[in-house]
Amino acid sequence: MKTKYRSMLSFFTFFLLFLSLVWCAETKAISDFVISWGAEKSDRGQLDEPFDAVVGPKGHLYVTDARQQKVLKFDPDGKFVLQWGDAKRFEKPTGITVSEDGFVYVSDYDNDHILKFKSDGTFIKQWGRSGEGEGEFDSPSGLAVDAAGNVYVTDLYNHRIQKFSGNKK
C-alpha cells in the first residue's frame, strides 16, 4: 500500500511541477518587453497623456492623447504615421476602437459625444450630447465595436453601456 501511495504522490508531485513549468513558460512568453516609443512632448508623434490604445485590422496602433487632444497613429513597428485633432475637435479624447472595416471611433469624455473617422483621420460624423436620455452621455469613456459594426459606449456617470447601430454611415 505504501508503494502505491508513494507512486501516486510522486506522480501528483511531478504533475504539479509540470504544470508550474508550463505556467511559468507561458507567463514569460507573454511578458517579454519588446519596444517602447513616445515621450512627454507635444511634438508630432510624441505622447503627452496617452489614455487608450487599440490595434486596427491592418496592425496600426491608434492612441488617444487626452492632453494634446489628438489621435495618433503608429505602424506595427512603432513608427509615427499621422495624427489628427485639436481643441476645436476634441476636449478630452479618451476611449478609442477600430472596426473591422477600418473606421476609428473616439469618445470625447468632456464634450459627451462620440466621433467617427476614416483611418486617415478624415472626420465622418459625431453623435451624442450631455444628458441622461438615449444617445446622451455623462462622460463617455470606453468603446468597443463588434463584427457587425455596432458601437458600444461605456457611459461612466450614467452608469450604463449604450449600443449604437453600425449600419449608419
What is the model's pLDDT at position 45? 85
Q: Are residues 18 and 97 in the same domain?
A: no
Instruction: Confirm whether 155 is domain-assigned.
Output: yes
Q: Are residues 28 and 60 in the same domain?
A: no
Q: Are residues 64 and 93 in the same domain?
A: yes
**Is-above-0.85 flag for pTM?**
no
Q: Are residues 12 and 80 in the same domain?
A: no
What is the model's pLDDT at position 15? 58
Q: Are residues 21 and 60 in the same domain?
A: no
The yes-or-no verdict on residue 65 having pLDDT over 90 is: yes
**Among 65, 75, 76, residue whose Cα is nearest residue 43:** 65
Instruction: Please provide the distance, in angstroms rounded to a whole number, between the alpha carbons at the two ends of the chain.
Output: 74
Confidence class for position 43, pLDDT limits 50, 70, 90:
low
The yes-or-no verdict on residue 36 having pLDDT over 90 is: no
Instruction: Confirm whether 38 is domain-assigned.
Output: no
The three cell numbers locating residue 60: 496600426
Instruction: Confirm whether 6 is domain-assigned.
Output: yes
Instruction: Confirm whether 116 is domain-assigned.
Output: yes
What is the model's pLDDT at position 35? 75
Instruction: Confirm whether 42 is domain-assigned.
Output: no
Instruction: Confirm whether 141 is domain-assigned.
Output: yes
Q: Are residues 21 and 70 in the same domain?
A: no
> What does pLDDT average to over the chain?
86
Q: How many domains, the chain? A: 2
Instruction: Confirm whether 45 is domain-assigned.
Output: no
Question: Which one-letter DSSP state was computed for residue 6?
Answer: H
Per-residue pLDDT tens for 7-19?
Answer: 655 665 565 556 5
Domain containing 124 equals 50-164
> Whole-angstrom Cα distance, residue 147 to residue 99?
7
What is the model's pLDDT at position 164? 97
> Whole-angstrom Cα distance, residue 42 to residue 40?
7
Instruction: Confirm whether 145 is domain-assigned.
Output: yes
